[in-house]
Amino acid sequence: MKLSIAKEGSGVFVQQAIAILDSGVGGLTVAKEVMRQLPREKVIYFGDTARAPYGPRTPEEVRQFTEQIVDYLLQYDPKMIVIACNTATAAALDYISAKVQIPVIGVIHPGARAAISATKTGHVGVIGTAGTIGSGAYTAALKQLSPYVQVQSQACPTLVPLVEQGLFRAEGSLQVVREALSTLHPDEMDCLILGCTHYPFLIDTIQQVMGDGVKLISSADETAREISTILYDKGQLASSEETPVHQFFCTGDAEMFQSIAAEWLGEHIRRTPVVWQITKL
């Protein structure tokens, strides 16, 4: 049964969901903000934890993986797909958008908009995976919005594994972050885009390294606002007063995924029945 269709005569409507996908747990930062801003909306989350990180992979591989996940999620008849992975957004957003009949959004343009709104000097930093930084997607998005913006970019390949292993609060995380950001110059920027949805797990540590003079930009807040705007314009905002039942799927270690998700989402996990499932693609 498709999620948008109730059994005839049952009087029960099964709510269409917002499908959110990521290479692993990073997209939970977007899911959390969607749950906060749109508490009536049902979320179906898919984390490809068995194949994370996506950053070192080729664009072709990332596009293939993203297509596999989208094909899996379409069986639940979502009303929107959110590619909550910067690497996958850069590699596959246009491809997936042309493939499906529902809205598909990524996290790069929302992050760029938030940075342009925040910067006062026009000097913006971007950190992300090798794939995201190598694609030049953030520089292109920023300069499309403001041609005179100055962009300083840095790939940080050690940060995603730190989060995926649940070590983002570990004692050694500060040193890992310090080394990853060592080539950045905080005095040359007034805001830094966290160009990977995993990085908000490390936001306090990154702020400590960059200093209070640099505003950290996460795309999660702006992405949730874009979701709200699109669904409102299409007349598809959820109206049910019932608490939505969210679903979470992963391809790797379910216990690790559940532990990280429960810590990050907190009350949403405790309050709402959750489905944890290992999925083989």
> Catalytic positions, please?
85, 196
How many whole angstroms separate alpha carbon 16 and alpha carbon 13? 9
Helix (H) or strand (E) holding 44: strand 42-47
Nearest to 87 by CA among 117, 136, 54: 54
How many whole angstroms separate alpha carbon 212 and alpha carbon 187? 11
Report in angstroms the alpha-carbon separations of 203 from 25, 182, 198, 235.
15, 16, 10, 35
Nearest to 185 by CA among 136, 123, 245, 105: 123
Which amino acid is located at 62 in the chain? V
Burial 35-49 (b: 16+ CB within 10 A, else e): beebeebbbbbbbbb
Beta bridge partners of 124: 151, 191
Asked if residues 73 and 81 have their Cβ atoms less than 8 Å apart, the reply is yes
Q: Binding site for substrate: residue ranges?
A: 22-23, 54-55, 86-87, 197-198
Distant-in-sequence, close-in-space partners of 255: CB < 8 Å, separation ≥ 6: none
Q: Binding site: residue ranges?
A: 22-23, 54-55, 86-87, 197-198
Burial 55-93 (b: 16+ CB within 10 A, else e): bebebeebbebbeebbebbbebbbbbbbbbbbbbbbbbb
